[in-house]
Amino acid sequence: MMDWTDRHCRFFHRLITQRTRLYTEMVTTGALLHGDVPRHLDFNTEEHPVALQLGGSEPADLAACARLAQQWRYDEVNLNCGCPSERVQRGAFGACLMAEAELVGDCVDAMRQACSLPVTVKHRIGVDRVESYDFVRDFVGTVHRRGGCEVFIVHARNAWLKGLSPKENREVPPLRYDLVYRLKADFPALTIVLNGGVADNAQIATHLQHVDGVMVGRQAYHQPWLMADWDQRFMGFERSLPSLDAVEQAMVAYLDGVVSKQGRGFGHAARHMVGLRHGQPGARRWRQVWSDPQLRAPSAAQTSVLARAALREATLRSQPA
């Protein structure tokens, strides 16, 4: 979710669901230790609970970044051991770390010693053509024993580090949910969260019969209204369901009141909500107004008026005469 789940995206998602845990895009240890820390770590208080996802492989560096996560008041710090991109391979972290379970355990241990936040690990079920369940079982067991990690977020595909792009790595290696279910059966005391290919609420409910949690990435991004009843349905939190119009107007106020004050146009933040009306009559025209700089107005409020007018017009045209 690099370049997707930034603070503006997370603020928008929090308008739809109050209890779902949100994750940052992966931030490398180098970016935090040698770069602009506020730019990478600043977030809106409304985003809680929110987890900082780190990329790195040096225990000392990860420990320093875990301390930063606590100082900035994140709710969790997550070590990414699943990203297959060439950039992370060159840095010898991400999915490469699955071949070095003892090192991952040392990283987790260093992070846990450096902060009081929960330290979690996100990983794949295997690397390249290693498809034996024993591989991922031993990885989880070693990281738990050596590092004390108790929460594992498992993308139910292998990471093929040679020959596939990151996009292809999300689609080509087959999903093997049964391996994630087996992890929960073999490690009942650990929290096992399933990730990968989850498309709707029925699938979430099915997976929750076997594991402790489900992480949804791109589907939630492209169809954010999928999250509207998660608080009630999956977490037992009673709340009035938000309306599409109310969420749009709250995001518009955010865009004009916060984002524009940063000296940038609001388009880079508004892009996160273009899927809000997915499946609704007229959604395509509404999305076009928000997406096209030539169609957007100078302010988000004015753009909202134009987009909703286009939505109404397209809806009327779609109705039978």
Other beta carbons within 10 Å of 319: 7
Catalytic residue among 9, 83, 107, 149: 83
Cα–Cα separations (whole angstroms), residue 91 to 5, 83, 163, 259, 292:
22, 12, 18, 33, 36
Q: Which residue has the tokens 């900082």?
A: 52
Q: C-alpha 89: how far from its chain's center?
A: 20
Q: What is the DSSP letter of 24?
A: P
- SS3 of residue 276 by DSSP: coil
Q: Which residue has the tokens 């107005």?
A: 297
Other beta carbons within 10 Å of 158: 27
Q: How many CA atoms lie within 13 A of 131 on its CB side?
A: 9
Which among 86, 87, 71 is positioned nearest to 37, based on CA atoms? Answer: 71
CB 84 within 8 A of CB 166: yes
Q: 171 Cβ partners below 8 Å, 6+ apart? A: none
Which among 221, 313, 237 is positioned nearest to 271, based on CA atoms? Answer: 221
Q: Which residue has the tokens 């994630």?
A: 180
Assess whether 83 carries a catalytic annotation: yes
DSSP string, 152-178: EEEEEEEE--SS--HHHHTTSSPP-HH
CB 62 within 8 A of CB 115: no
Residue 153 CA to residue 193 CA, distance in Å, equals: 5
Indicate which residues carry an active-site annotation.
Answer: 83
